[in-house]
Amino acid sequence: MKFNKFLLFMIMAAFAVVLAACGTDADEKDGDKTNTSSSGETTAPAEDAEVKDLEGSVVIDGSGTVYPLMARLAEEYMISEQENVSVEVSRAGTSAGFKKFLVENGTDFNDASRNIKDEEAAAAKDLGIEVKELKVALDGLTFVINKDNDWATEMTPEELISIFLADSTVEKWSDINPEWPDEKINAMGPNENHGTYEFFYEKILDKQDMDSTVNLQQEYSTLVNLVSEDKNGIAFFGFGYYVNNQDKLQAVSVDFGNGPVAPALDTISEDGAYADFTRPVFTYLNVNHAKEKPQVKDFAIYVMNNINKFAGETGFAPIPESEVQENVSFLEGL
């Protein structure tokens, strides 16, 4: 009886070992595949590989604002173009993403809701990483308020800025307009990991200090929930997160001087009525990886060719066709 149990134990142990061994085997093969695809085009002529079946992985991290668009593109690419390529999309935030992008064997793309910074560009140079900026869409920085807020639906840029500035006397709604409630404003936004924060700080606040009482969050979903539950809440983020939560939030129409403009796909553009709060969003490509791995280059070209098709449904305005073509011809020349 005891011996039987020991036998059972041994069988289970053996089973586990065998299974684990199988796993390693399967993996080594997989590892080899990625190795060959990354170590050069010796296995398959590069030109051919572009139209034929590709494999290996494409790793994308970065902006949470750009994530829905890139995730959509990645999925379509795997369904309709290259089903054996694994495109993996994460969203740590623009700045956090650049930290993963600017290392040896880093990510292939970094989505960004702001331009690359000088020090990041310098770090890339030190590492010998050639970086290509690809503008993918236009996003409107959207200020959202609670559905029950019936006073602050239209504001000027100056009023909005005064809410977030450290150097301002605005703390209550009544400080902006005496007719508004005498209640404290609860300002919120994404934290420093996000390009949206940096865009707001650099371009909108013009690098003036942000009020330390502003509630900065890592996740956009947290901001959506906070504002939807707080009558005095106001937050800023990309238009896409507003579009998908119109039932819970309302957007502030901004009066840039010619009457209030609501953020919308047709007002967000480089010369549209919402242009002052419009920003381009990017994905940064590691050009070295694009040259080494055919699947990275192929995906980059796919992104540029299809970007405007998926921009609208994920809450972005399209970029001019001429800029798309410029980038496509650059990528094809790699």
Partner 1 sequence: MKHLDENQHMRRTKFRLVLNNISKIIFMLAAFFGLFFLAVLLGKVFTDGIGSINMNFLTGKLSTQPERAGIMGAILGTFWLMLVVAPVTMFLGVGTAIYLEMYAKKGRVLDFIQTNISNLAGVPSIVYGILGMTVFVRAMNLGNVVLAGGLAMSLLILPIVIVASQEAIRSIPFFLSEAAYGLGATKWQTIQRVILPAALPGILTGAILALSRAIGETAPLVVIGIPALLIPFPGGIMDRFTVLPMQIYYWTLDASLVAEYANLAAATIIVLLVALFILNSTAIIIRNKFQRVF
Binding site for partner 1 (CB under 8 A): 2-3, 5-6, 8-9, 13, 16-17, 19-20, 23-28, 30-31, 57, 59, 67-68, 71-72, 74-75, 78, 86-91, 100, 219-221, 224-225, 240-241, 244-245
Which CB sits closer to partner 1, 123 or 165? 123
Taking the least distance from each CB to partner 1, the nearer of 26 and 46 is 26
Torsion of CA 201, 202, 205, 207, to 10 degrees: 100
Helices (H), the chain: 2-39, 46-51, 67-80, 94-101, 118-127, 157-164, 173-176, 195-199, 220-229, 239-243, 287-292, 294-311, 321-332
Q: Quick check: 324 and 308 in contact, CB under 8 A?
A: yes
Query: Nearer to partner 1 by C-beta: 43 or 246?
Result: 246
- Least Å distance, CB 104 to partner 1, is 10
Whole-number minimum distance, CB 6 to partner 1, in Å? 4
Q: How far is the CB of 169 from partner 1 (least distance, A)?
A: 33
| C-beta closer to partner 1: residue 88 or 148 | 88
- Please state the closest distance from residue 282 (CB atom) to partner 1, in A: 19
CA distance 262 to 255: 9
CB 290, min distance to partner 1, A: 20
Rounded Cα distance, 5 and 7, in Å: 5
Cα(297)–Cα(282) distance, rounded to whole angstroms? 16
Choice between 9 and 47, CB closer to partner 1 = 9
